[in-house]
Structure 1
Amino acid sequence: MNARKADLERQFEAGRAQFDQAQEKIKARTGRNLILAILIGVAFGAALLLSLLVVKQLFMLFAVVVAAFATGELVQALRKGDIRVPIVPSVAAAVIAVPVSYFFGAAGQVIAVLGGIVLVTLWRLASSGRHRDARQPGRGLGLDLAAGAFVQGYVTFLATFTVVLTAADGGEWWTLAFIVTAVAADTGAYAFGLMFGKHPMAPVISPKKTWEGFAGAAGTSLVAGVLLALFMLDQPWWFGLLFGAAILASATIGDLIESLIKRDLGIKDMSSWLPGHGGFLDRLDSILPSAAVAFVAFSIFG
């Protein structure tokens, strides 16, 4: 019995060592804690399903929290590049825009975003008179104002497309479909890039993205698009191909845009709020532009 127990302990330790070694290789390759990232992803997925399929109004609250964190992360990241965007009005504008978009649709969305840009601009202009600006050339008030408008356009405007879409009759299924497709593209890119990635896709912007990963993203997004079109959206298979290809394009562009922003700011992640993922905005990079694409698709075919 003692010999058997010792043998089991040795096997357990050997298996644990192999698992730890595999984890270190994956972390060295991707820079992420894979197990923790999966657990957080599952938790977010459960919250998303609950908010979309049980009580749609819960999705509005879910979107408020995510938009607030994502906006705050981007503002803080810009400050690392010596770009001063006021955080209080930026986050407040995002929080207000979500329920306005939910209850008043696309018209309310546009008005809320434009109002947020005006609020952030006036706040920054008011604060500029109280402090002397001693920054280097090119890092002045004009850049701050442009960056403030960019935050509202990039995060708030794109994020509220999901709210407008979800509020529409049957729109929650389209929201779920585009998010699943975008996640499938991300997962395919991650898995194929990890296993087969050799040829960099955009080495200057994002060195870890490969053409092999893009091929995996294309395959998974097209398959997901067809399945979701047939069994969730009540659309023909060819629509699924178009939908999957459109989400693939928007998700890839969104991923590269955020990588370019982080590269210019000299940071790896927008924040460390989500271990294994980075920040909220790091998880939304492919979702944000895809929301606008899904809204257009719903407006035409939904």
Structure 2
Amino acid sequence: MAHPDKRDDTRTHLEMRRAQFEATTAKIEARAGRNLFFAIGSGLVFGAVFLVCLLLIKELFVVLVAALVSVALVELASAFRVAGRRVPRVGVVLGGLTIVAGAYFWGSAGMLFGLFAGSALLTVWRLIEGLMPRYETAPRTLVRDVFSGLFTLVYVAFLASFTILMVAPEGGQWWVFALVLIVVSVDVGAYVAGVTLGKHKMTPRISPNKTWEGFAGAAVAAMTAGVIVSITALNQPWWVGVLLGIVVLFTATGGDLTESLIKRNLGVKDMSTWIPGHGGFLDRLDSLLPSAVGVFGIALALGAL
């Protein structure tokens, strides 16, 4: 039987270790802006789902994109409502799904027609909604609401549909894989370098956690991942990987800063709290959306699509 003094010493030692662990975790979370352990866990789960959908059944990947677009549209529409802009959530989701469906069934022409049809649908939906008696006392912000809704469609559904165009041709799934891999590399490289070396703030008024050291780490990680995936999966020369890394570095960073600026202007911290350690779905898609356009353009220029 253990002596009472030894039990007390053990308990005190464990409590000290726990306090040190919690302090270290809080310090990392403060610098990174997220809960590291939740972020890694949820990231692994979503990464596994993504790979299964992308590499096994392309149709399942299209369904995944449609689901992510729908959730992200609801998040952004809800954020606009916090700022007093009434963006119809059902209307914007239907409009977004029209764009995704157009890209899947009819390619780039269908995506453009889907954008036109979805925008018209959303505009009519908002006009009809404004005529309902329960909204008679609501602020008259029709024009601002309509333009906010159109921005939501373009920013989320239209940009995301470039992944549908990319995955359609034979071997196109590897270009989508390269897109996601390099974007994740940018995120991880910026995180590691920013936490360990970050001193000089990049855009303190927009995103306080971003540093120039993190940007440099993201650049190294992006080009390294780009070269590896170009040679092994895309059957392209090494310089294509460098080009992909540079393009995605700027599109992913720009997309992240753009979403941070949107959230700051709307007065919200995260688009939602649905993903532990990551915030909302749009908080994770912000770098991917503009990067999809950049990678699609490179693949198209190389004749790979």
Q: Distance in 1 between matches of 2:97 and 2:274?
A: 19
Q: Which runs of 5+ in 1 are unaligned?
A: none
Matches within 5 A, 1:111-122: 111-122=113-124
- Identify the residue that residue 132 of structure 1 maps to in structure 2: 136
Count of aligned pairs: 298
Q: Which runs of 5+ in 2 are unaligned?
A: none
Aligned-partner residue type, residue 83 of structure 2: G
RMSD, matched Cα: 1.9
Pair 1:70 & 2:72 matched: yes
Aligned-partner residue type, residue 125 of structure 1: L
Matches within 5 A, 1:192-271: 192-271=193-272
- Identify the residue that residue 155 of structure 1 maps to in structure 2: 156
What do the CA deviations read for 1:214-255 (whole angstroms, capped 9, x no partner)?
111111001111111111111111111111100111101101
- Identify the residue that residue 280 of structure 1 maps to in structure 2: 281
- 8 Å Cα contact 2:98/2:117 also seen in 1: no
When structure 1 is superposed on structure 2, of 219-228 and 96-105 the one drifting more is 96-105
Q: Distance in 2 between matches of 1:142 and 1:296?
A: 33
CA displacement at 1:134 relative to structure 2: 5.5
Secondary structure in 2 matching 1:209: strand
Q: Distance in 2 between matches of 1:115 and 1:94?
A: 10
CA displacement at 1:295 relative to structure 2: 1.1
Q: Distance in 2 between matches of 1:199 and 1:128?
A: 48
CA displacement at 1:27 relative to structure 2: 2.0
- The percent of aligned pairs where both chains have the same amino acid is 47
- Identify the residue that residue 35 of structure 1 maps to in structure 2: 37
- Identify the residue that residue 105 of structure 1 maps to in structure 2: 107
- 8 Å Cα contact 1:97/1:109 also seen in 2: yes
Secondary structure in 2 matching 1:233: coil
Matches within 5 A, 1:139-150: 140-150=141-151
Secondary structure in 2 matching 1:273: coil
When structure 1 is superposed on structure 2, of 280-289 and 291-300 the one drifting more is 291-300
- Given the two structures, how large is their TM-score scaled by the length of structure 1? 0.93
Distance 1:53 1:140, change over 3 A: same
Matches within 5 A, 1:283-294: 283-294=284-295
CA displacement at 1:2 relative to structure 2: 4.4
Secondary structure in 1 matching 2:111: helix
Secondary structure in 2 matching 1:270: coil
- Given the two structures, how large is their TM-score scaled by the length of structure 2? 0.92
Q: Distance in 1 between matches of 2:224 and 2:10?
A: 43
Q: Distance in 1 between matches of 2:28 and 2:258?
A: 24
